[in-house]
Structure 1
């Protein structure tokens, strides 16, 4: 039987502990993950996810194009008419598959570490590739307090623009963020009043920043942002809440329902409530870029040893470190052992090699149901013991991105560290 497709795997929905423990033993503390594709009905795919062009609408045209791939996710996608497992990553173990969500539910601290398990009882973060042809609506993600009003969790997030997925910038490689200094709540309220008149003009109150591959941003909740058209790696909190504040994008209507979907039903027409969902001080921050922009910071100067590990997401949101991320580059023929403080999700963006006992291989093209060797979940025990990475290519670097859970990396740099921490 071919193991190339998820169709050839048996889906196991419960009692997965034995499968998990066997997989960890065989791999050296790692779990192989299958690609997790997510469509968005209101966006146009950017075609840089390495998904086969014939499969961009594999969920059906009515569901929209696939513009996201989620990594090590136990968070359901908040899409209308979603499939039951949409947004959930699957572990591949032999000829079986089961969700990472089920694995964490049964094995808890063995996978994600006792500290995170005891506090959250789940893997509370995830990451994704977010890939669109053009810009998306100016929107915000609710805070924890706001999201609790509708039984959800808030969502801070971060961005990194991997050069390997940005050979083209597509239609608008700029992101509007926040609001211009001096903007008033009355002006934003007027934009909401004008929703059905066409373009409600919310972008007239904001400022666009040019996006640069190899850099990133850290964006807290309640901050307006209209992501541009670079393919983005996004470590973030495990939630899919949002509110769209822009009524028209590139001629496409944004329904009012996408503005209020994660607000109490009694407030769906309360314009003052909707405006007050915004963190006003953060949106009109005169030092917005200084307080949100990221560039990679080397963990240590190990170039002479044939590898470089760099922080690509760091900093705190409201004095909390909710997630961090690193980019490891291993030169052709080189080998290194990397110790980390906690569990992580990993995606390979270039090259081939090995990670403990698992193969790593960055695919050139992926069919919708195909399995890959580019994605892995690393347990906390394996991370702390040290994971050995080996580049088996003679010509190409091996590059992997890995993201971590909350408060895992207290030694991570603070915002602005890139200014003084370059080789």
Structure 2
């Protein structure tokens, strides 16, 4: 079938007016739980875990990247295109065969887009306080560790918090916080001590600067920033890599066996670094993590680009990344003009059509994720009575 990929793609693109749909690329993780949106994933129990003990908490959107997990799985994270002949093809294979047609000159700027399902049953941290739904574990992105040295650049990423008070979610998570950077007056020695408590306490979380999550807001997180994203389903856009060093274990959980705790710290935290001081020196950008103007510099609210009786279009990603939200009223339509660049889209809520083909928010039953190839327009029509059709679309990132 490999030799026929160009002709199969051509037939699908012709039939679907320049649009390709993909199957959901679900990714398991061992370090955080979710809100049961992508799959049953709110507890680390056998009924919810895969054979590795991981929970399905991430969905990678039109992805050319493979997930980096301690226990890897072949092609995990890489998208599969749905072709009209019924046989799927890996997006990496399609790009190798027809990269110019699918991505124009943007293949080297194609982002990794993720839907992160973050949450779980509330727990009380070791330092006390009210119960909280657990965030993603505290971590940092500073590149791969090669021969004991951090090889940058680390991963640059940005978040957008979509609304949850609409179908199929209909959730009110209450007050949710993300811990980004460290609190005022936290010292390097405080962080060193907390790193030494990996798997034994939640000391690192006590040092994090809390920021309340607000729908339609987002952040940009630069390499070297200590962060623990809060328990709100999140659209993340990033450069296409999966590097990390954990700075803490799962919120509210303890690893009782000292030997197991040391091994987990070695495998998930140090990942080739020598010790806690080496971690702090090589992978933590202290000036960034302790910046007193962190919120002013890096928090970003969505802004309206246009609106009318049909609905509204908003910008939701900024700076190096660019993305939009389309909120289309019942019975209305919106036309995205042809672009010289490709873009990927995700239906977040509602149902309707794209270029005459049905789309919807339920990824198990609907075409939900798509690629609009260069030079093709996209016409959305909202056919759902009483519900907005909400679509997020992401473009290639900018270099320089």
Q: Secondary structure at the match of 2:71?
A: coil
Q: Secondary structure at the match of 1:289?
A: helix
Instruction: Indicate if the aligned counterparts of 2:181 and 2:227 stay in contact, CA closer than 8 A.
Output: yes
1:334 to 324, 332, 351: 332
Instruction: Indicate if the aligned counterparts of 1:175 and 1:209 stay in contact, CA closer than 8 A.
Output: yes
Task: Tell me the alpha carbon deviations over residues 270-296 of structure 1, each in whole angstroms, 9 at most, x when there is no partner.
Answer: 623543311122111111111111211
Matched with 1:218 is 220
- Greater CA deviation, 139-148 or 284-293? 139-148
Task: Tell me the alpha carbon deviations over residues 352-378 of structure 1, each in whole angstroms, 9 at most, x when there is no partner.
Answer: 111124321222x73xxxx63111111
Change (3 A) 1:249 1:394: closer
- Greater CA deviation, 163-172 or 94-103? 163-172
Matched with 2:313 is 309
Deviation at residue 131 of structure 1 after TM alignment = 2.9
Matched with 1:4 is none
Matched with 2:357 is 358
Matched with 1:159 is 159
| CA distance, structure 2, for counterparts of residue 62 and residue 87 of structure 1 | 16
Matches within 5 A, 1:13-52: 15-49=4-38
Matched with 1:68 is 58
Change (3 A) 1:168 1:275: farther
Q: Secondary structure at the match of 1:178?
A: strand
Taking structure 2 as the reference length, the TM-score comes to 0.83
Matched with 2:268 is 258
**2:396 aligned with 1:405, yes or no?**
yes
Q: Secondary structure at the match of 1:291?
A: helix
Deviation at residue 350 of structure 1 after TM alignment = 1.2
Q: Secondary structure at the match of 1:62?
A: coil
Deviation at residue 85 of structure 1 after TM alignment = 1.2
Unpaired runs of at least 5, structure 2: 121-133, 256-260
Change (3 A) 1:171 1:328: closer
| CA distance, structure 2, for counterparts of residue 212 and residue 60 of structure 1 | 32
Return structure 1 stretches of 4+ with deviation > 4 angstroms. 12-15, 50-53, 55-59, 143-153, 169-172
Instruction: Indicate if the aligned counterparts of 2:327 and 2:390 stay in contact, CA closer than 8 A.
Output: yes
Task: Tell me the alpha carbon deviations over residues 143-200 of structure 1, each in whole angstroms, 9 at most, x when there is no partner.
Answer: 589999677863111111211476435597211110123433233223233446x226
**2:79 aligned with 1:89, yes or no?**
yes
| Root-mean-square deviation over aligned CA pairs | 3.1
Instruction: Indicate if the aligned counterparts of 1:353 and 1:393 stay in contact, CA closer than 8 A.
Output: yes
| CA distance, structure 2, for counterparts of residue 30 and residue 274 of structure 1 | 46
Instruction: Indicate if the aligned counterparts of 1:31 and 1:376 stay in contact, CA closer than 8 A.
Output: yes
| CA distance, structure 2, for counterparts of residue 348 and residue 392 of structure 1 | 13
Q: Secondary structure at the match of 1:136?
A: coil
| CA distance, structure 1, for counterparts of residue 201 and residue 41 of structure 2 | 34
